[in-house]
Amino acid sequence: MERESLRVNNERAVLIAVATNQGISPAQLARKTGLGAQTVARIVEFLESSGMVYRGESVRGRRGQPATPILIDPNGAYCIGCEVGWRHLTVLIRDLTGAVLGEHRRDYDFPDSHNVFAEVASLCRLMATAVPEKYRDRILGIGLAAPGGFGRNPELVGGSEAQAAAWRDTNLAARIAEASGLPTFLLNDGNAACWGELVSRTPPRPDNMAYFLISEFVGAGLIADGRLWQGPKGNSANLGSMLVTGRDGVQNFGHRIASINALKLRVAKGGTALHGDPLTWDWEAFKDVADEWIEDGAYAVAKTIINTSAVMEFDIVVVDGVMPRPIVTRFVDRVRAHLDKLPVLTSDRPRVEEGTLGWRAPAMGAALKPLYRRYFSRERDDVAL
């Protein structure tokens, strides 16, 4: 068993090196992994025969034999990413290199527990057609991103108690697995988005990172020592539920200050109801309200960052949103500005950066996590998969 684990570990070390250095030569692989040249040659041969990597055209250097680049084969494996969110459904499929081959999004007022499973299954079948037929048996399954539970606080999004009650008796992942016939791996939506953002970054990636996605509520995640911190039930790092004091001096939860839901409630006071995708809204029509929301929301996020840094060390915070990119940029700029003015005691202020994936982040991260666990993770539990 130990020898088997060592073999898998070495294979994954080589795959990681190839994935993060596409076109690397066998000699460079040996140096990167610390493995012997013969061991690397055997592993590359095995991975090539398994369809995980392929050899590119040899490139002649200044001296010695031509170097043969080793590359990840995009057809090595696929995974479907699905986000069942409070206000929208997203389904996409990614290959082993992370490329998105197909994508579908639909907005709704509240997820329908009676129809969503069949719809996801139908979309998964559609996504599978983006994969060449001879490789469809390489689809690992569905990475599913969803909030902690649709059965709690339905009044926050205008859902009825009957709708919430139906969700309380529903195992979302099990129902989607049953409807689709595919293994389904559940991730909290904030954690999935955090993972998607981390993997999208150019190596070297941060070992410790906090992440915020301004969505219907505030999705969040934490990377600690290079690992996604999920907790025993998979819902840790729910930073939007942190109690903070707003600019008005009133204590409230981050979800109720910085979220798209909070913005909708503000705009509704003026008699306008906002529906559908925030990317399609006419933001100029409610600019004054949006400006105030940005200030209050950014202040709440900045306070949450300071509070979180008291219990976890991280050098970077990534803030993103489901809004148009100029609105996200303004929000992030105001987070930086408020953070610079807030007091710190025993730690430095972390660097704040703007995210890149926007509303796609949960489904993107959900699709990548099963691929990572199956082929790249060197954690003991994952190596045993």
| Segment 254-279 mean pLDDT | 96
Read off the pLDDT of residues 315-369 as tens digits, 9 standing for 90 and up: 899 999 999 999 999 999 999 999 999 999 887 899 999 999 999 999 999 999 9
Sequence letter at residue 298: A
pLDDT of residue 163: 83
- H-run or E-run covering 353: strand 351-354
Residue 119 has pLDDT above 60, yes or no: yes
Sequence-ordered list of residues with C-beta below 8 angstroms from that of 206, at least 6 positions apart, any chain: 198, 223, 314, 315, 316
CA nearest to 156, candidates 244, 230, 240: 240
Integer CA distances (angstroms), 82 to 119, 123, 230, 246, 374, in order? 11, 10, 18, 34, 18
Of residues 42 and 114, the one with the higher pLDDT is 42
| Segment 295-310 mean pLDDT | 97
| Segment 283-303 mean pLDDT | 98
Contact 124, 82 (CB under 8 A): yes
CA nearest to 361, candidates 115, 156, 188: 188
pLDDT of residue 235: 84
The first and second tokens of residue 334, run together, are: 């105001």
- As a whole number of angstroms, the distance between CA 27 and CA 244 comes to 53
Contact 239, 223 (CB under 8 A): no
Give the DSSP letter string of 214-257: ESSSEEEEEEETTEE---TTS----GGGSEEE-TTS-EEETHHH
| Segment 111-133 mean pLDDT | 95
Domains of the chain and CATH, by start? 2-72 (1.10.10.10), 77-193+363-383 (3.30.420.40), 201-358 (3.30.420.40)
Sequence-ordered list of residues with C-beta below 8 angstroms from that of 90, at least 6 positions apart, any chain: 81, 82, 83, 103, 104, 105, 359, 360, 362, 363
| Segment 196-200 mean pLDDT | 96
| Segment 279-283 mean pLDDT | 97
Read off the pLDDT of residues 203-255 as tens digits, 9 standing for 90 and up: 889 999 999 999 999 999 999 999 999 988 888 899 999 999 999 999 999 99
The Cβ of residue 11 has, within 10 Å, a number of other Cβ atoms equal to 20
Sequence-ordered list of residues with C-beta below 8 angstroms from that of 234, at least 6 positions apart, any chain: 186, 187, 188, 191
3-class secondary structure, 160: coil
| Segment 16-22 mean pLDDT | 94
Read off the pLDDT of residues 28-41 as tens digits, 9 standing for 90 and up: 999 999 999 999 99
Residue 93 has pLDDT above 60, yes or no: yes
Contact 213, 220 (CB under 8 A): yes
pLDDT of residue 346: 80
- H-run or E-run covering 143: strand 139-146
- As a whole number of angstroms, the distance between CA 197 and CA 133 comes to 30
pLDDT of residue 63: 61
Average pLDDT for the chain: 93
The first and second tokens of residue 312, run together, are: 């976890």
Read off the pLDDT of residues 140-175 as tens digits, 9 standing for 90 and up: 999 999 998 787 777 778 778 888 888 888 899 999
Radius of gyration over alpha carbons of the chain, in Å?
22
Least confident of 63-67, 182-186, 202-206, 380-384: 63-67
Model-level pTM?
0.94
State the first-to-last Cα distance of the chain, in angstroms, to the nearest integer. 13
Phi first, then psi, for residue 94 (nearest 5°) are: -125, 150
